[in-house]
Structures are given as C-alpha cells and as structure tokens.
Amino acid sequence: MGGESMTSGEPVMMIDALKYVLSREPDTNWGFESLNPKGDNCRMILNRGGKAHYFFDRNEVSVTASKGDVVFVAYDEVYHPHSDKDDPWAFTVIEFTIRTDAETRERIMRLPKLLHHQNNPKIERMFEELQREWIMRRYGWSAKCRGILYEIMCENFRCGMENPHVPHAAKLRGLMEEMNKNPAHTFTSEEMSAITELSPDTLRRHFRQLTGTTPVQYLNRLRINKARELLLSSGCNVSEAACRVGFSDIYYFSRLFKKLDGHSPSFYISLSSL
C-alpha cells in the first residue's frame, strides 16, 4: 500500500468492509470466555452506561470500561470480557475490516486498549449515526458508514496520542509546543532534556509512546508542513523555503520533502502560480 505512514505523518488505512453493528442493553450475565477479531478485522465497543471488565492476553492488561469509553481490539487480539455484576453495561460494538501499511498497523496496535472519550460528545453521536445507517440502509449507506468509521478512527488516534496515562505527557507537550512555535530551531538532545527535565532515553521512549514518532521525526514533519505553506503562499523558491524552516542542505530538504509529503517542493510552487 503506497503513501505515508503514521510515523511520518498521516495514517495510511483503507476501511474495506463493515461487518456488523450491534447494541446490547445491560445484562449481569453477559460475558465470554474468549473472543478475538480475525485477520485484518478490528472491533470498537462503546460503553453507553454501566461498567465492563476486559482482560487482554497479548499484553496481560486488564481494563475497566465506564460510560463514554471505547474499547479497541485489533488483529487477532484475544480478550476476555464480562459485564460488571453490580453495574452491568450497555454497549454498541462495531466490527470492520481495515487495511494499512506496516507502520500504521503498528500504530494501531499501540493504541491504548481503553480510549477515554468521556469529554468527547461526538463519539456517541457517531456510533448512533453509524447504527442508523447500518439498519436503514438508504442509498449510499455503505459509503456513509465507512466515512463515519474514518471519523471515529481519527478520534481514536487523537485520543491515543493524547493518552493521559503516558508518563510525563504534560512535559512532552511543552516540548511539542516549543517545536510548534519555532520549527526552524535545531533542538539538541541536551536542550530537549532541559525543556522536559527528562533524560534523553526517557524522553525518546515516552515521546514515541505519546506521538508515535521520535522528536526528530516530529520536528521534521513540522518543518515540511511549514515549508509547504511558504511554497504555496509566500512566493518563496525552494532554497528560501528550506532555509526559513531550518534546512541548510537544499538537496536533503528536497529528498525529505518528497519522502514525507509525496510531492516535490516544486510541485507546490507550480500550484501557487495557478
């Protein structure tokens, strides 16, 4: 599959088929010894109320889902779910087939098993809309369902990247803010450690956990995005754009631009003249 990966920019994925959408009301006896989505299938389970407990074999992780949470299961992951006896849950489950490149697949597998969407009212609305389209099957329902699934996956990626359980997340976001404000600056390992008050190894490990990229990859992506804006809107030539976003080697800049963006810098210069 061509295109960019999550670690260099946007996720590369294609939702092939929606297998089913089901809703269940509270049942104290609900539970299974073992479940798993097969092959390229994924499952998303929205908690509409109550609680449920999940154990995942792969990482030996236990989670408890509360109202607004989404449990995300992908690629043959074996799990063991059961409803809370005192506060049984109501839920909606979606299973769908998704094809990705290798790096996006890895990024999906690194998503937290439990995504906390309580402060995101869009999620429940999107699940409801998806179920309506699935049941009513009006003209264009299949395309509509895939579109909603892409939106939900986008929210999952964003929620996963903003995972509050990543250690030192606030300090790392402070570094990201500094990079956003000044992408042309060369952030040395020592400077990044000083900004975050973390050792270089700890910083790199948790930065990747939070964003799916290394600090250098993140900064390069910011630089290329800024360069694209300059090429489109400010009349810069390639050398000027490279210099203004922190690259002294125009050839390296052009190669990296093509790798991350999929187009050469000159492509955007030609667009700016239209």
Complete domains list, the chain, with CATH: 13-161 (2.60.120.280), 169-272 (1.10.10.60)
Mean pLDDT in residue range 67-71:
91
105, two tokens = 């697949």
66, two tokens = 């509360």
Give pLDDT tens digits for 12-59.
889 988 999 999 999 999 988 888 888 888 999 999 999 999 998 876
> b/e string for 152-161 if b means 16 or more Cβ within 10 A?
bbebbbebbb
Give pLDDT tens digits for 252-262.
999 999 988 88
Give pLDDT tens digits for 238-254.
999 999 999 999 999 99
Share of the chain above pLDDT 90, in %: 48
How much is the pLDDT for 187? 94
pLDDT band at 1 (very low <50, low <70, confident <90, very high): very low
Those residues whose C-beta lies under 8 Å from the C-beta of residue 183, and which sit 6 or more positions away, are 219, 222, 223, 226, 245, 246
Distance CA(196)–CA(191), nearest Å, equals 9
Give pLDDT tens digits for 116-165.
876 678 899 999 999 999 999 999 999 999 999 999 988 888 777 665 56
Q: Phi first, then psi: what are they for 82, rounded to 5°?
A: -155, 150
Across the chain, mean pLDDT equals: 86
Do 34 and 99 meet the contact criterion of CB atoms below 8 Å apart?
no
